[in-house]
Structure 1
Amino acid sequence: MVGKIALVLAAAVVCAPVTAVAAAADPVPPVMAALGDSISAGFNACGWYVSCTSRSWSAGDDAGVNSHYLRMLAIDPAVKGHNLNFAVPGSTSAGLAAQAEKAVAAKAAYVTILIGAQDACVSEESRMTPVSTYRAHIDRALAVLAPTGAKVFVASVPDIKRLWRLGKDNVVARSFWAIGHICPAMLARASSDAKKDRARRDRVRERVRDYNEAMAEACAAYGPGCRSDGGAVFEYPFTLDEVSKWDFFHPNADGQRALARATFKAGFPWDAGTLTREPLASGRQGR
C-alpha cells in the first residue's frame, strides 16, 4: 500500500506542472488587430504628423519596435501578414465600438486596446469625458467583441503628468505644446507654478487613473479572455528620449518599443498552435 501511494504521489508531482502549463498557454491567434488612438497608430513615430503603423507597439512590423505582432510571429509563422490596425489618431473612447466592429469583420482573434488619452487631453478640464461615460464606451466595445470569443489585451493610459514634469523646463517642448495646442488640459501654461494650475494637473492625472481603473474593471467583466497590463504603461518611467521631437507628446520608435516590451510581459502566454483559420475580410494592414 505504501508503495502504491508513493507511485501516485510521484505521478502527481510529475504531471501537475505539465497540466498547469498546458492550461495557461493559448495558441497564437490567426489574425490580430490594434484598436485605440494615435499611440497605437504610431503617430509621429516615423514621419511629420502622420500615422506610422509599422512602428505600432501592437500590430507594427518594424523589427526595431518588436511589437506584439512580431513577438507572436516568432512563435507561430502562420500569423504572418495578418496584423491589422484600426486605431484612429485623435479618437476618444466614443469611437472604440466602431473600431471593434471592424475587428470583428476582419475576424480578429486577438485585439489590443489603448484609449483614453484623448478623453483627458481636451481644450478645457471641464470637457474631459466623465468616468462613467468612458466605462460605458469600453463596455460597448467589449460587447461587440465578446460574441467572437476574441482574446483582448487592454493597456493603461500613460501618465501625462509625467510628460509635463519632464518637459516643463524644456523651452522647445513647451513651445510645441503651446503652438500645437497639445493636451491643453494638462500641458497648458506648462511653466506655471500657480496653485490653480498645480491643482488642475493633479485633477487631470486623477482622471487618467480613474480611466485606467475603469478599463481594468471592464476587462475583468469580459472574463478570462481579457488581460490588463496592470498599470504597466501608466507606471512606465519614460523619458523625453522616448517621445517624438515633432510634438514632445507621442512615443517615437524607442517609446513604441518600450510600450511593446512592457505590455507583452503582462499579456497572454502565447504558445505555438493553430486555430481554425477562415479567409480574411479586407482590412488595413499594419505596415
Structure 2
Amino acid sequence: MTHDDGDAQRPPGGRRRGVGARGVAVGAFAAVLAAGLALAAVHGGSDSGGSSAENPRTDSSARPSGSPSPTSETEWNRAPESLAAVGDSITRGFDACSLLADCPSASWATGTDRSVDSLASRLLERPKAHSSNHAVSGSRMADLPQQMRRAATHDPDLVTVMTGANDACRQTTAQMTPVAEFRESFREALRTLRADQPKAQVYVASVPDLLRLWEQGRDNPTSVRVWGLGICQSMLKDPQSDRPVDDERRQEVRKRVVAYNGALREVCAADARCRYDEGAVFAFRFSAGELSSWDWFHPSRQGQQRLADLAYRQITAEEGAGSD
C-alpha cells in the first residue's frame, strides 16, 4: 500500500513486477494464506541492527557522500546518525520477499536490500549498526506506545512511524478504531518516547489510501480471489460490487483514514521535533508492480523503495513538504 507523484526511480537493477507474475494460481495456497494473514495479526518481532550503546556512532565527517550536514540543536536535523523504526507489517516488509513472512531486509525504513535502498541506507554511514526495527506485523495504533518504549532504548536521533492501516482494515467498518482513541494512542506514544528521548526527532508517514488499493486490484481475478480469503474486508469485501451499500462502505473506510491522518498531523504539530509527511504516502499513486504478488496488499520490494523515496525527501527537506 503505497502512493506517490510517479517520479521516483526503480530499484537499481530491479525489474518491475508484471501482471504475468500475478497470474499464478492462488488455489494451492489459499488455505495457507488465510491462516498466515490471521497469524500476522498477532505476529510480533523486532529486528535490531544494533544500538548506539553497543556500536559507537561514527563522526559526522564520515557521512555518506551527498548527505545534508547536521543542523543546530534547535533545528530539524536533516542528517541523523541513528534511526529506529516503529509501525506495522509495512515496516516489517511482510510478504515482500516470500509468502506469509516478514522480510526486514526489504523494509523501507531499515532494510539492507540494495534494490530497496532504505532510509537507513541513505542517511546513515553504518546503517546496520545504527538502525533498529521495532515494528510488529498486525499491530495497530494502540500498540505504538510499547514499540516506542523499545525504540527509545536504542537512543535514536530519528524515529520513523508508519501505522494506522490496520486500524481501518477490519472485518467490518464498525470494528474500525474510533478517531479519538487513535489520536490519544498516538499522543501516548509520543509521550512515551519523550520520557526517555526528549530530543529524538520523529518522522510520521500518513496512512495509505486504501481506496486506491481497491481501485488497483478490483478487476484482477487473482487479487479478487486472494482478497476473498479475508484481507481488509472493511474495504476489500466484494471488490467487484458496484452496489450503493458497498460504495458507501468503502467511502466510510476512506473517510476514517483521512480522519486518522488529520489526527497524526494534529498531534505531530504539537511536538517541536515531529515532522508529518503532509499526506505524501496517502497521496501516492502506487501501481500494481508496487504491490506484493503474494497478497496484492502489502508493498513489494519496488513499493518499499518508493516509500523510502518519499521518506528521504521529507526528512532531508529544509522545511516540511508534501502533498495532501
Q: TM-score, normalised by structure 1?
A: 0.82
Tell me the distance in 1 between the aligned counterparts of 2:136 and 2:280: 22
Structure-2 residue corresponding to 1:202:
251
C-alpha deviation, 1:29, in angstroms:
3.1
What CA RMSD, in Å, does the superposition of the two structures yield over aligned residues?
Answer: 1.8
- Contact 1:91-1:118 at 8 Å conserved across structures: yes
Which protein is bigger by CA-based radius of gyration? 1
Structure-1 residue corresponding to 2:138:
90
Structure-2 residue corresponding to 1:133:
181
Tell me the distance in 1 between the aligned counterparts of 2:186 and 2:276: 13
Is the aligned partner of 1:31 residue 2:95? no
Structure-1 residue corresponding to 2:109:
58
1:116–1:31: structure 2 CA closer, same or farther, 3 Å change rule? same
Letter matched to residue 194 of structure 1: R
Q: TM-score, normalised by structure 2?
A: 0.73
**What are structure 2's unaligned runs of at least 5 residues?**
1-69, 319-324
Structure-2 residue corresponding to 1:154:
204
1:187–1:108: structure 2 CA closer, same or farther, 3 Å change rule? same
Letter matched to residue 167 of structure 1: G
C-alpha deviation, 1:28, in angstroms:
3.4
Structure-1 residue corresponding to 2:300:
252
Between structures 1 and 2, the one with greater helix share = 1
Tell me the distance in 2 between the aligned counterparts of 1:88 and 1:218: 22
C-alpha deviation, 1:78, in angstroms:
5.1
Structure-2 residue corresponding to 1:49:
100
Tell me the distance in 1 between the aligned counterparts of 2:76 and 2:203: 15
Tell me the distance in 1 between the aligned counterparts of 2:137 and 2:283: 23
C-alpha deviation, 1:110, in angstroms:
1.0
Tell me the distance in 2 between the aligned counterparts of 1:167 and 1:80: 35
| SS in structure 1 of the partner of residue 89 of structure 2 | coil
1:108–1:22: structure 2 CA closer, same or farther, 3 Å change rule? closer
C-alpha deviation, 1:30, in angstroms:
3.5
Structure-2 residue corresponding to 1:229:
277
- Contact 1:69-1:83 at 8 Å conserved across structures: yes
Give identity over the alignment, percent: 41
C-alpha deviation, 1:262, in angstroms:
1.4
Tell me the distance in 1 between the aligned counterparts of 2:96 and 2:145: 25
C-alpha deviation, 1:47, in angstroms:
1.4
- Contact 2:78-2:316 at 8 Å conserved across structures: no
C-alpha deviation, 1:22, in angstroms:
5.0
**CA-to-partner distance for each residue in 1:208-247, whole Å, 9 max, x for gaps?**
0110110111111112x11111101000000111000100
| SS in structure 1 of the partner of residue 159 of structure 2 | strand
- Contact 2:121-2:127 at 8 Å conserved across structures: no
Tell me the distance in 2 between the aligned counterparts of 1:27 and 1:266: 9
C-alpha deviation, 1:31, in angstroms:
2.6
Letter matched to residue 65 of structure 1: V
Tell me the distance in 2 between the aligned counterparts of 1:99 and 1:269: 26
Structure-1 residue corresponding to 2:262:
213
**What are structure 1's unaligned runs of at least 5 residues?**
1-20, 271-287
Tell me the distance in 1 between the aligned counterparts of 2:76 and 2:142: 33
Tell me the distance in 2 between the aligned counterparts of 1:194 and 1:185: 15
Tell me the distance in 1 between the aligned counterparts of 2:88 and 2:310: 18
C-alpha deviation, 1:32, in angstroms:
1.1
- Count how many residue pairs are aligned between Structure 1 and Structure 2: 246
- Contact 1:114-1:155 at 8 Å conserved across structures: yes
1:146–1:268: structure 2 CA closer, same or farther, 3 Å change rule? farther
| SS in structure 2 of the partner of residue 28 of structure 1 | coil
Tell me the distance in 2 between the aligned counterparts of 1:139 and 1:101: 13
Tell me the distance in 1 between the aligned counterparts of 2:100 and 2:210: 19
- Contact 1:228-1:267 at 8 Å conserved across structures: no
**CA-to-partner distance for each residue in 1:84-128, whole Å, 9 max, x for gaps?**
000000000010000000011122221000110000000111000
1:87–1:80: structure 2 CA closer, same or farther, 3 Å change rule? closer
